[in-house]
Chain A
């Protein structure tokens, strides 16, 4: 793993930090949104906020796929998992995501056969090994994980594995960003574009951001120096009055994306007319379902999932917090009916969500602690 240490070099970080400072207009407040949950993790884990001038605020966006999953979809997954004939498989961080009556970890404790996998191919292997059981893979994630689900389904069809289905909850990144940009009370200056998603979709899908909304976007990698360099690139654009899509993550992201992966996705998935996002409501064409050709593998059809909607509590104000209109403590349910143990909104689900971080650490979650000793 030696190759990552170069991207975590504190001396280089200081140099980039100094360069960013020269571009800051002291009278201005800059809000940059990192769309992707992976970036939020990097920012938090390495303490990047301490390396940025006070005027630059990083706003955490809607890009954590487990956090944005609405309760209804979790409940439906749980309903499938509780069937005696089913082996239910999912990624590890899905286990704790709360539905209206509990999470998968609790359902497993109640006797359901739920197994954590690292890849959908592991789920397919379980199906192969257990021909008398129904194996369901709970697919989540943006365009980052969707191709692996697509490839798994292509393989399942090729091998004619009939006891394997996918409960598809894949979402796409552009529609929620567009929804945010469409809201009149949005206060953002620029976007730190997602890296992993872009290895698949490339940089072109973000061109509407500068063109239609006047917001620069830099597609960014996941090491702390990637983030720092991306902030620098955005600050340069703002300073020079440029507004465009740039690619910081050139070592992994081709401008046109991964055509092979996109072809697989196009064969296996189609867009849903609309999909619900926890805390954000319904967003048109923001999620994927299995295409006509793959209906045999669709868990929603095989188990006649009713598509029940569990309303986010009316009081939940994740959308406002996400847009930067409200601070976490200003939300009506913060700390009372919405807590890290019993989260209602997306921002309380992950420990790195803005609300969970504020709940655990108060102002310390956002304050700059200052120079290291």
Chain B
């Protein structure tokens, strides 16, 4: 057992303190926003750290106002649509491509692999991409949320390097039993690949949940936007009028500030992630190690 010197003990204490402070800085912004989101006008306007809500100054009015606007419900619907449908489809497309690349007998393998890798280092850029989407007739079409994100080179390589690690004998015995590539993939490979599939699914889901730029750019009519874009409009364009007008004239509005309404809107997308995060975090960490196996 290695013993610690005095200097190391001092360092250790500092290490715990530094890491604790760092961890707190990641928690605090969310605590602050949550506190503001349930504060009355009086409490929210006071200058302070707002770590915990002031007792007696708690109100749910900001949330009531946010949810009273039907626009946020439709926006939420589109977010759920793209997260569920987009994630499912992209996991299949990515795993198919990765699995085919992992098979030793695939023809034109070098070509398919290079074809994939080039997309990682060279891009068309904003304007050609926009014109392309327009030419494909995907403006104001919800499939624009799904189709461009079907496959990414990095994820495909992560999937491929996982599939390569599965013993070839499993494939051979399946073939002897008369199973084709599809059957082998669905009945033998997929059940063995749960960790990588889970990781890819979570990456895709987080990406879909957080996307807003495509919604801003391609939904030119302003309809069918996702919830992140809805929030972007409120927060970024400093445009709480869009929702506060909705409740104007009602008594509830008196107890609101633009800060509390913004905070409540933000919390509406933050809370689902915070709820899921502790349960799925290990898959993200696993994914990074999977990706690091082979670059």
Query: Is A bound to B?
Result: no
Task: Point out residues on B near A: beta carbons under 8 Å.
Answer: none
Task: Point out residues on A near B: beta carbons under 8 Å.
Answer: none
